[in-house]
Protein backbone atom coordinates (compact mmCIF):
# COMPACT_ATOMS: atom_id res chain seq x y z
CA UNK A 1 0.00 0.00 0.00
CA UNK A 2 1.40 3.41 -0.99
CA UNK A 3 1.50 5.82 1.97
CA UNK A 4 -0.74 8.86 1.63
CA UNK A 5 1.18 12.08 1.25
CA UNK A 6 -0.60 15.39 1.77
CA UNK A 7 0.79 18.89 1.35
CA UNK A 8 -0.53 22.22 2.56
CA UNK A 9 1.21 24.57 0.13
CA UNK A 10 -0.87 27.61 -0.78
CA UNK A 11 -3.44 26.97 1.92
CA UNK A 12 -6.15 29.63 2.31
CA UNK A 13 -4.57 31.02 5.48
CA UNK A 14 -1.14 31.49 3.93
CA UNK A 15 -2.72 33.02 0.83
CA UNK A 16 -4.59 35.59 2.93
CA UNK A 17 -2.16 36.65 5.64
CA UNK A 18 -2.67 40.37 5.03
CA UNK A 19 -6.44 39.97 5.28
CA UNK A 20 -6.16 38.08 8.56
CA UNK A 21 -4.26 40.94 10.19
CA UNK A 22 -7.65 42.67 10.43
CA UNK A 23 -9.03 39.87 12.62
CA UNK A 24 -6.33 39.56 15.29
CA UNK A 25 -7.78 38.30 18.56
CA UNK A 26 -10.81 36.73 16.84
CA UNK A 27 -11.91 33.27 15.79
CA UNK A 28 -12.59 32.77 12.10
CA UNK A 29 -14.38 30.12 10.04
CA UNK A 30 -13.28 29.60 6.45
CA UNK A 31 -13.00 27.16 3.58
CA UNK A 32 -10.94 27.15 0.40
CA UNK A 33 -13.91 27.80 -1.87
CA UNK A 34 -15.76 30.61 -0.05
CA UNK A 35 -12.88 32.09 1.91
CA UNK A 36 -13.80 33.86 5.14
CA UNK A 37 -17.26 32.77 6.28
CA UNK A 38 -17.56 34.14 9.81
CA UNK A 39 -15.54 35.77 12.58
CA UNK A 40 -15.96 36.83 16.19
CA UNK A 41 -14.41 36.74 19.65
CA UNK A 42 -16.17 33.52 20.75
CA UNK A 43 -15.75 30.14 19.07
CA UNK A 44 -19.35 29.04 19.69
CA UNK A 45 -20.65 32.20 18.03
CA UNK A 46 -18.44 31.70 14.97
CA UNK A 47 -19.46 28.04 14.63
CA UNK A 48 -23.16 29.02 14.73
CA UNK A 49 -22.65 31.64 12.03
CA UNK A 50 -20.65 29.26 9.84
CA UNK A 51 -23.13 26.40 10.12
CA UNK A 52 -25.89 28.73 8.95
CA UNK A 53 -23.94 29.08 5.71
CA UNK A 54 -22.24 25.71 5.12
CA UNK A 55 -21.22 22.43 6.74
CA UNK A 56 -17.80 22.62 5.11
CA UNK A 57 -15.65 24.95 7.19
CA UNK A 58 -12.57 25.02 9.39
CA UNK A 59 -12.03 27.24 12.43
CA UNK A 60 -8.88 29.01 13.55
CA UNK A 61 -8.00 31.56 16.20
CA UNK A 62 -6.08 34.55 14.83
CA UNK A 63 -3.70 35.30 17.67
CA UNK A 64 -3.35 38.88 18.87
CA UNK A 65 0.34 38.43 18.04
CA UNK A 66 -0.39 37.29 14.48
CA UNK A 67 2.22 38.52 12.03
CA UNK A 68 4.95 39.01 14.62
CA UNK A 69 7.97 36.77 15.31
CA UNK A 70 7.18 34.65 18.36
CA UNK A 71 8.88 32.12 20.59
CA UNK A 72 7.36 30.67 23.75
CA UNK A 73 9.96 28.43 25.37
CA UNK A 74 8.87 26.27 28.27
CA UNK A 75 10.31 23.21 29.96
CA UNK A 76 7.57 20.94 28.68
CA UNK A 77 7.62 22.35 25.16
CA UNK A 78 9.21 24.87 22.88
CA UNK A 79 6.88 26.79 20.63
CA UNK A 80 8.24 28.49 17.52
CA UNK A 81 5.30 29.87 15.62
CA UNK A 82 5.61 32.25 12.71
CA UNK A 83 8.65 32.52 10.46
CA UNK A 84 9.58 36.08 9.43
CA UNK A 85 11.98 36.54 6.51
CA UNK A 86 14.30 39.46 5.82
CA UNK A 87 11.88 40.82 3.22
CA UNK A 88 9.09 40.96 5.83
CA UNK A 89 7.19 38.00 4.38
CA UNK A 90 5.93 35.53 6.97
CA UNK A 91 4.64 31.98 6.88
CA UNK A 92 2.28 30.17 9.23
CA UNK A 93 3.14 26.44 9.61
CA UNK A 94 -0.49 25.39 9.93
CA UNK A 95 -2.51 22.28 9.05
CA UNK A 96 -6.22 21.32 9.31
CA UNK A 97 -7.18 18.54 11.74
CA UNK A 98 -10.35 17.24 13.36
CA UNK A 99 -10.42 17.15 17.17
CA UNK A 100 -13.14 15.15 18.90
CA UNK A 101 -14.01 14.85 22.58
CA UNK A 102 -16.85 12.95 24.20
CA UNK A 103 -18.96 16.10 23.89
CA UNK A 104 -18.00 17.78 20.62
CA UNK A 105 -16.15 17.60 17.31
CA UNK A 106 -14.18 20.55 15.98
CA UNK A 107 -12.50 20.96 12.59
CA UNK A 108 -9.60 23.21 13.46
CA UNK A 109 -6.45 24.63 11.95
CA UNK A 110 -3.49 24.01 14.25
CA UNK A 111 0.13 25.11 14.28
CA UNK A 112 2.70 22.34 13.73
CA UNK A 113 5.76 22.49 15.99
CA UNK A 114 8.46 19.84 15.94
CA UNK A 115 10.01 21.50 19.01
CA UNK A 116 6.97 20.87 21.17
CA UNK A 117 7.05 17.70 23.28
CA UNK A 118 3.30 17.27 23.04
CA UNK A 119 0.13 19.01 21.93
CA UNK A 120 -0.88 22.20 23.73
CA UNK A 121 -4.56 23.07 24.03
CA UNK A 122 -5.65 26.54 25.21
CA UNK A 123 -8.05 26.79 28.13
CA UNK A 124 -11.06 28.16 26.25
CA UNK A 125 -10.73 25.63 23.43
CA UNK A 126 -10.74 22.84 26.00
CA UNK A 127 -13.89 24.29 27.56
CA UNK A 128 -15.51 24.47 24.12
CA UNK A 129 -14.68 20.78 23.67
CA UNK A 130 -16.36 19.95 26.98
CA UNK A 131 -13.35 19.61 29.27
CA UNK A 132 -13.95 20.21 32.96
CA UNK A 133 -11.40 21.24 35.55
CA UNK A 134 -11.93 18.40 38.02
CA UNK A 135 -10.53 19.01 41.49
CA UNK A 136 -9.44 15.38 41.72
CA UNK A 137 -7.17 15.64 38.67
CA UNK A 138 -3.45 16.06 39.11
CA UNK A 139 -2.25 19.49 38.04
CA UNK A 140 1.16 19.74 36.43
CA UNK A 141 3.49 22.69 36.22
CA UNK A 142 5.34 24.02 33.20
CA UNK A 143 7.98 26.70 33.22
CA UNK A 144 8.64 29.32 30.57
CA UNK A 145 10.38 32.62 30.00
CA UNK A 146 7.49 34.50 31.58
CA UNK A 147 7.08 32.22 34.60
CA UNK A 148 5.16 29.06 35.39
CA UNK A 149 1.78 27.81 34.25
CA UNK A 150 -0.56 24.96 35.18
CA UNK A 151 -2.02 22.29 32.91
CA UNK A 152 -4.00 19.06 33.02
CA UNK A 153 -3.31 15.99 30.91
CA UNK A 154 -6.31 15.19 28.70
CA UNK A 155 -7.01 13.05 25.64
CA UNK A 156 -8.78 13.76 22.36
CA UNK A 157 -9.54 11.80 19.23
CA UNK A 158 -7.63 13.39 16.37
CA UNK A 159 -8.07 12.89 12.63
CA UNK A 160 -5.46 14.01 10.09
CA UNK A 161 -6.05 13.29 6.41
CA UNK A 162 -8.57 10.56 7.25
CA UNK A 163 -6.38 8.80 9.82
CA UNK A 164 -7.83 8.76 13.37
CA UNK A 165 -5.91 8.17 16.60
CA UNK A 166 -5.89 9.02 20.31
CA UNK A 167 -4.01 12.23 21.05
CA UNK A 168 -2.76 13.22 24.53
CA UNK A 169 -2.91 16.97 25.10
CA UNK A 170 -1.75 19.45 27.72
CA UNK A 171 -4.80 21.55 28.55
CA UNK A 172 -3.58 24.91 29.80
CA UNK A 173 -5.40 26.18 32.88
CA UNK A 174 -3.47 29.44 32.83
CA UNK A 175 -0.82 31.12 30.72
CA UNK A 176 -0.15 30.61 27.05
CA UNK A 177 -2.46 32.03 24.37
CA UNK A 178 -5.12 30.80 21.96
CA UNK A 179 -3.01 28.78 19.53
CA UNK A 180 -3.41 25.02 19.40
CA UNK A 181 0.08 23.59 19.01
CA UNK A 182 0.36 20.10 17.53
CA UNK A 183 3.48 18.60 19.09
CA UNK A 184 5.54 15.46 18.60
CA UNK A 185 4.00 12.93 20.99
CA UNK A 186 2.04 10.26 19.04
CA UNK A 187 1.68 12.47 15.94
CA UNK A 188 5.32 12.29 14.88
CA UNK A 189 5.30 8.52 15.49
CA UNK A 190 2.32 7.98 13.20
CA UNK A 191 3.35 10.39 10.44
CA UNK A 192 6.56 11.29 8.73
CA UNK A 193 6.34 15.08 8.72
CA UNK A 194 8.56 17.13 6.48
CA UNK A 195 8.89 20.91 6.75
CA UNK A 196 9.93 22.64 3.51
CA UNK A 197 10.19 26.20 4.70
CA UNK A 198 11.59 27.56 1.44
CA UNK A 199 8.51 26.19 -0.34
CA UNK A 200 6.18 27.11 2.55
CA UNK A 201 4.99 23.51 2.64
CA UNK A 202 4.38 20.83 5.25
CA UNK A 203 4.14 17.22 4.04
CA UNK A 204 2.32 14.55 6.12
CA UNK A 205 3.09 10.94 5.19
CA UNK A 206 1.14 8.28 7.10
CA UNK A 207 3.21 5.54 8.69
CA UNK A 208 0.53 3.91 10.85
In angstroms, rounded to a whole number, what is the distance separating the alpha carbons of residues 203 and 190?
13
How crowded is residue 14: how many other Cβ atoms within 10 Å of its Cβ? 17
Nearest to 63 by CA among 17, 1, 30, 11: 17
Percent of the chain exceeding pLDDT 90 equals 40
Number of domain units in the chain: 1
Convert the pLDDT of each residue in 110-143 to its tens digit. 988 887 778 889 898 999 899 988 777 888 876 5
Q: Quick check: is 57 in a domain?
A: yes
- Is residue 42 in a domain? yes
Tell me the CATH number at 79.
2.40.70.10
The helices-and-strands tally (H runs, E runs) of the chain is 5, 17
Residue 73's domain comprises 5-203
Residue 208 located in a structural domain: no
Residue 64 CA to residue 67 CA, distance in Å, equals 9
Give the tens place of pLDDT for each residue, 68-96. Answer: 655 444 444 444 444 444 455 567 888 99
Amino acid sequence: MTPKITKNKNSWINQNLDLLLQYKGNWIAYNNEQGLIAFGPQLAEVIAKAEAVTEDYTTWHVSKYFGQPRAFAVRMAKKNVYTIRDDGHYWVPEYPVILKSAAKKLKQTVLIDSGSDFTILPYQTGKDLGFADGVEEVRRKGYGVSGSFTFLEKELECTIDGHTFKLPVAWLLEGGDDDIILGREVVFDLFEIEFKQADETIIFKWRG
